Structure 1
């Protein structure tokens, strides 16, 4: 099999449209029916849903309090648009930080989960995010763990990374398999 990976010179929002174009093409080639996207505000999720209407899409936003207070970051206008387009929205604890980060912040040190996250960041922040949101969506019962999905993530705002993977629940993390990298920034 021959497969092309699209590399971006820099991470960031300027890659969002190209990632979505590449995801649409690969989804069609493979017949993938489920896509999970990290989109805290919902803006990238809306862009994806505008271009792809024949897949089940899950938009994963930050958990309440991620930036302080009790606020969930998804913006009302984007939430409404996502709901109108049938996109499921999930806000929950980050699978690759969660309570472990709270322990490290208070007592110092590092947890095994944080080591896993840092290892994935050796590829890119977006790869780590793709793995993380797929676990979160699987744990919420929003995507299947018995078939390939496309996961989309990024660095800061927008998206710059997409992978084809077979997700797993948090409790069987090491069953997760990344099958293809569709696009990512060069670290």
Structure 2
């Protein structure tokens, strides 16, 4: 496992390379978190440079995450990525979703948010990797029961990559994390 000294976008290129090499070795899909599409573009560039072709599923924030009625992934970027063969999933966060409305309103934490906090003990990106893989599986964009390489980060850029076999949201505790390829040091 590769450990970065710090979290953040400066780790994106190394994270993408480690994830792509592992996905190629396993002959599996890459699931990547995206807000603006920039990291997905970087992954596509790296795939071209390394002459590796793997399915890419990009999971974006829901509409209204930052601003009501808006999505951070512009229509232009969405169209560009789809034209490059990227499958885009836009769905409610598997590890917060509707539960967050209750914790915000009534204070306290529900079991799903406790699970999210537990995964953050490894890193925010590891939590994101589990979450986006579940969302992609729920959307039918990756096959059930097969490992994927998932890439997540902390706000912008990517700093964590995980090999896992996700499970559907309704049975998320059946998810299997096989290997953490990289993550930032958490102190």
TM class by shorter chain equals over 0.9
CA-based RMSD: 1.1
- Displacement of 1:55 in angstroms is 1.1
- Cα distance in 2 between the residues matched to 1:6 and 1:62: 27
Structure 1 equivalent of residue 16 of structure 2: 20
Structure 1 equivalent of residue 45 of structure 2: 50
Runs of 4+ residues deviating >4 angstroms: none
Structure 2 equivalent of residue 31 of structure 1: 27
CA contact (8 A) 1:46 1:81 kept: no
1:37-186 aligned at under 5 Å gives the runs 37-52=32-47, 54-186=53-185
SS of 1:38's equivalent in the other structure is strand
CA contact (8 A) 1:37 1:45 kept: yes
SS of 2:170's equivalent in the other structure is helix
- Cα distance in 2 between the residues matched to 1:59 and 1:28: 17
SS of 2:164's equivalent in the other structure is strand
SS of 1:60's equivalent in the other structure is strand
SS of 1:184's equivalent in the other structure is strand
- Number of matched residues? 182
- Cα distance in 1 between the residues matched to 2:118 and 2:150: 18
- TM-score (normalised: structure 1): 0.93
